[in-house]
């Protein structure tokens, strides 16, 4: 996906998140984030938006801590979220393509990284807000979902922080059945190594439509279909949380 497409997705997902949060109310439980209420979701996502904005707008070339969670609630919290989301969209939309700032996953440029990361951050938490509102969360586009799976598997879980590891070498395959996208995840005592490839044997395969796979790999939904050794799917559930 292009950076402009990620920015457009970020804009739409943030607006949907705010609408769902307002309709659910700050006290509503977030079933996809145990222990959280909607106010926690708004505080967290709004903080992340401001944190990301600062890197691009201020050109920080090294890690900077976030500004912490606001002591706001109700209408004030919702307004604060909307202001931060709008500032992030505007910052990314107007930043020069060659802006130099810190990022933490491989990408064609820092701007491409932040647009992609914040689009997916916001989409997952939009799903959370809609789950808190009750009813069926809105659909996620197939290509956007496949892009999010790729970011998760080849970005987050290629890092040394990933806890998805196995004493014995194992192979997990992830297949989006409504696209041509297939990933082979090689597990060992080291961080996972993932390739966009569907050849060779796999010990376990997780498959389903891209949008469903996307949310299940982010531990928001059950896996659509698991074949082979289901202990690898359980391993993912137990150890894949990103903090």
CATH number at residue 11: 1.20.120
Examine residue 46 and state whether it is found in any structural domain, yes or no: yes
Quick check: 213 and 207 in contact, CB under 8 A?
A: yes
**Res 243: pLDDT:** 79
First to last CA, the chain: 25
157 and 114 co-located in one domain? no
| Last residue in a domain, options 104, 133, 162 | 133
Examine residue 143 and state whether it is found in any structural domain, yes or no: no
Examine residue 156 and state whether it is found in any structural domain, yes or no: yes
Mean residue pLDDT of the chain comes to: 97
Count of CA atoms in the C-beta half-sphere (13 A) of 154: 18
Examine residue 29 and state whether it is found in any structural domain, yes or no: yes
pLDDT (tens digit per residue) in 125-146? 999 999 999 888 999 999 999 9
Mean pLDDT (whole number) for 194-216: 97
Of 49-63, 109-123, 128-142, 171-185, the poorest mean pLDDT is in 128-142
Examine residue 207 and state whether it is found in any structural domain, yes or no: yes
**Res 131: pLDDT:** 97
128 and 12 co-located in one domain? yes
How many folded domains does the chain comprise? 2
170 and 77 co-located in one domain? no
**Res 32: pLDDT:** 96
98 and 159 co-located in one domain? no
Mean pLDDT (whole number) for 184-205: 97
Quick check: 206 and 218 in contact, CB under 8 A?
A: no
Q: In terms of pTM, does the model score above 0.95?
A: yes
User: Rounded to whole angstroms, what are the CA distances from 114 to 45, 170, 179, 222, 231?
Assistant: 14, 32, 25, 28, 34
Q: Which helix (H) or strand (E) holds 16?
A: helix 3-24
87 and 121 co-located in one domain? yes
- Residue span of the structural domain in which 192 resides: 152-239
| Last residue in a domain, options 133, 167, 196 | 133
84 and 172 co-located in one domain? no
195 and 228 co-located in one domain? yes
């Amino acid at each position: 996906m292009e950076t402009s497409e990620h920015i457009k997705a970020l804009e739409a997902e943030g607006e949907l998140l705010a609408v769902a949060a307002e309709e659910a109310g700050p006290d509503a439980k977030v079933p996809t984030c145990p222990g959280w209420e909607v106010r926690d979701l708004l505080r967290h996502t709004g903080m992340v938006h401001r944190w990301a904005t600062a890197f691009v707008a201020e050109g920080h070339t090294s890690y900077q801590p976030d500004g912490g969670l606001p002591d706001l609630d109700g209408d004030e919290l919702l307004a604060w979220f909307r202001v931060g989301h709008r500032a992030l969209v505007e910052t990314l939309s107007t930043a020069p393509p060659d802006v130099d700032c810190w990022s933490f996953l491989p990408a064609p440029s820092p701007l491409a990284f932040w647009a992609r990361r914040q689009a997916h951050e916001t989409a997952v938490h939009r799903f959370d807000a809609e789950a808190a509102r009750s009813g069926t969360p809105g659909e996620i586009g197939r290509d956007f979902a496949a892009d999010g799976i790729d970011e998760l598997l080849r970005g987050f879980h290629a890092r040394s922080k990933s806890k998805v590891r196995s004493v014995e070498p194992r192979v997990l395959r992830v297949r989006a059945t409504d696209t041509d996208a297939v990933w082979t995840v090689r597990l060992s005592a080291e961080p996972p190594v993932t390739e966009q490839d569907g050849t060779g044997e796999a010990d376990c395969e997780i498959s389903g439509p891209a949008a469903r796979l996307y949310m299940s790999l982010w531990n928001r939904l059950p896996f659509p279909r698991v074949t082979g050794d289901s202990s690898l799917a359980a391993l993912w559930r137990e150890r894949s949380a990103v903090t």
